[in-house]
Chain A
Amino acid sequence: MIKPTLLEDVIHMKHGAGGRAMRALIEGVFLEGVEGGEAALMDDGAAIPFGDQWLVVTTDAHVIKPIFFPGGDIGRLAVSGVVNDLAMMGATEVLALTSSVILEEGFPIELLRRVKASMHATSREASAPVLTGDTKVMGRGEVDGIVMSTSGLGVARRVVRDAGLKLGDAIVINGTIGDHGLAVMSVRHALGLEGALCSDVAPLNGLVRAALEAGGEAVHAMKDPTRGGVTSALAEMAEKAGVSVVLDESTLPMSDAARAAADLLGVDPLGVANEGKALFGVAPDALDRVLAAMRAHPLGARATCIGKVVDGARGTLLLDTGFGHRRLFERDGEPLPRIC
């Protein structure tokens, strides 16, 4: 793998966008001089042996503009983000969450109540209790409204890595692609799009439990396609496993609204964030039972196989469009609506 280099001397927005620039920052700053840090910091969380099981710990900071968006808000995002990172490691039983909130002077208490109510509802949905927290306030203009940082502790019987893809595996996703990123982009840029565009933000531990119970050891790898989207997540999974992945465009599940918004904004839906989706690498003989288990869950009704793992150049991700193949690449920085 070509190590990305840090070319800047200040932080740019792309360093937080989940792609190559962010990995370059992690490697170039956070991992520099830290022995053995790489393996631990480059998955969704860290797993610590605990008897015959594993304790999994993860942490996630959340900033989003606007804090309330169609389909969710920063509170639901904060809980789901951590629950999903735990679930992606196989830790579907969540022991505890912690929540720190940094608020800007002048932030309305009423909004904070709404955020808290949403956190609470999501934590019940995921059976993931928030057990402790912290609050800080900064001066007006020193922070933008509200910043949340959430940590989680879960238990896994078997740790599933994002590096576990095997040749022949089916790539499965639990539903439609691109909804969150496109919904947020539409409100953030005040694009005036009306319709059913709606974030998919949701805690996935129940769905993942169902998939793991049905598939067992045949579920080889999992990753949630958040920032950087399906492209970024699958490119990273393929890179780590030393394999190649081919997606079949005709099978990609998309909502009408997300598809239309992506066309209108000139954005590749495979490159935008999802907050209620997971990608699974599943052995072909277990595919049907894993799909059936996922489809029986409300968050997996449109679960489907979108591609397969093949023997090819390490880390390459190809899309079969029907007309031909094209290689998918991770983008740097957040996708922007384009006009030309």
Chain B
Amino acid sequence: MTEVRTQRRLEFRDVAQGKALGARLAHAVERAGRVVTLMHVCGSHEQAMARYGLRPSFPKDLHVQMGPGCPVCVTDAPEIDACIALAAKGLRVLTYGDMLRVPGRAMSLDGARAAGARVDVVYGATQVVQIARRTKEPVVFFATGFETTAVATAALLLDDPPDNLAVFSAHKWVPAAMEVVAETPDSRIEGFLAAGHAATITGFGIFESFVARHRLPVVVGGFEPLDILSALVLLVEQVAAGEAKVENAFPRCVTREGNRRALAALERVFDMADGEWRGIARIPSGNLRLRPEFARWDATVRYAAELAAAPPFEERANASDCVCGKIMSGIAQPDDCALFGKACLPAAPVGACMVSSEGACRIWHEHGLGLR
């Protein structure tokens, strides 16, 4: 391989600056003079806060709730069941590693694999095409993720994919869910930390009408510890000053208009459709479905008969006690749930938030938050 050494990794982890930003965050919260509740809508933000140990250093009057920011968690159980049903028919199912252990109503794709189904993990859309071209057999790509990941699926479909490939789109559109959270009657959310990588695609301009409608500040943040701390400082300072505007704390990746080429690809391939987000609500325009022009690759069209014939699954016991929906809507924290750390564990998850490595409950449990 080419011998390359670049000056430095693009990491922003200066501890002294982090402490200074922490001090500024504490002052901003103090200036607000009350509890400030913010929401982030990105599992990677939760991951990064946990990874760098940021949460314990937050001022006690700053509450940062995890919103519906984990595409795997909000993938509805019937969608997982549908892909399990296709795998049970002998079709080869490809999906991202994140999706493998998420329970449907009866089992996960991993469970289906243990029972003999052919389910493989892929790490990129290019790999999906490679596998489909290599084999002559039918392959179903269970495509999950928000707009950032949907772009890769769109690019795949626009690049003349092989006929033995079918795509089952469970892609979601985040801004639609922010609307629902903002309109939740008992919401205490006073500002949103928007997801930097999704905004790299959509641009931050997309939040301007949201801010105008809801009078809630939105700050786009990146994923290095200093990115997150600086974005939170800007948000709390807006809340303290009674302002509501869009700010961009991740300008090295996010522009106002976003990635126009990627947005054009999304528009050509997907239609927005109302859809169920697991544990949250039916989100108007929250799902991305393949447009009719791509019906020949659409698994829901090609395998409509098989999907209709799939047997219904039983709900798991105690699923009704799960508060995942409230957690993802920002009304509850993982430790508000009676099942958390007891009946619901990473090894035996009840709700989706305990399944994905991005789920709030899973992250809290793995990092020892809210236990005992």
Contact = CB atoms under 8 A, between A and B. Distances in A.
A and B touch in the complex (CB under 8 A): yes
Interface of A: 4, 7, 10-14, 20-21, 189-192, 194-195, 265-266, 268, 316, 319-327, 329, 331-333, 336-340
A191 B123 contact: yes
B123 A321 contact: no
B53 A190 contact: no
B13 A322 contact: yes
B358 interface: yes
Interface of B: 1, 13, 15, 18, 43-44, 50-57, 70-72, 96-98, 100-101, 110-111, 114, 121-124, 127, 145-146, 149, 225, 346-348, 357-358, 365-368
15 contacts: A12-B110, A191-B123, A321-B51, A323-B18, A324-B52, A324-B57, A325-B56, A326-B51, A326-B52, A326-B368, A329-B367, A338-B357, A339-B145, A340-B44, A340-B72
Contact of B53 (A12, A266, A319, A340): A319
B347 A323 contact: no
B53 A338 contact: no
B347 A339 contact: no
Given A20-B347, A265-B123, A338-B357, A323 B57 contact: yes
A329 B55 CA distance: 17
Given A329-B368, A340-B71, A190 B98 contact: no
A194 B145 contact: no
Nearest to B365: A329
A322 B56 contact: no
Contacts of B18: 322-323
A325 B96 contact: no
A7 B53 contact: no
A213 B101 CA distance: 46
B53 A326 contact: yes
B15 A323 contact: yes
A190 B368 contact: no
A323 B52 contact: yes
Given A189-B121, A322-B15, A323-B52, A340 B367 contact: no
Contacts of A325: 53, 56
A10 B112 CA distance: 12
Contacts of A21: 347
Q: Pick from B56, B97, B146, B365 the residue with the most CB of A within 10 Å.
A: B97
Given A7-B347, A340-B71, A323 B225 contact: yes
A316 B346 contact: no
Main secondary structure of the interface of A (DSSP, over half): loop
B97 A336 contact: yes
The 4 lowest CB-CB distance pairs between A and B, nearest first, are A324-B53, A327-B368, A336-B97, A322-B15
A324 B357 contact: no
Contact of A323 (B54, B121, B145, B146): B54
Contacts of B127: 190, 192
Contacts of B111: 12
Contacts of B368: 316, 326-327, 329
A7 B98 CA distance: 22
Contacts of B149: 339-340
Given A190-B127, A327-B367, 8 more contacts: A13-B114, A194-B1, A265-B123, A326-B51, A333-B101, A338-B357, A339-B96, A339-B145
A4 B97 contact: no
B346 A332 contact: yes
A14 B18 CA distance: 38
B134 to A, nearest CB: 11
Nearest to A14: B347
B46 to A, nearest CB: 11
Contacts of A316: 368
A190 B367 CA distance: 30
Contacts of B366: 327, 329, 331
B230 to A, nearest CB: 13
A340 B57 contact: no
B101 A339 contact: no
Nearest to B111: A12
A189 B131 CA distance: 12
Contacts of A338: 96-98, 357-358
Contacts of A13: 110, 114
B98 A340 contact: yes
Q: Pick from B56, B123, B146 the residue with the most CB of A within 10 Å.
A: B123
Nearest to B73: A340
A125 B357 CA distance: 40
Nearest to A327: B368
Nearest to A192: B127
A332 B57 contact: no
A92 to B, nearest CB: 36
B354 to A, nearest CB: 11
Contacts of B145: 339-340
B52 A321 contact: yes
Nearest to B131: A190
B1 A337 contact: no
B288 to A, nearest CB: 15
A104 B360 CA distance: 44
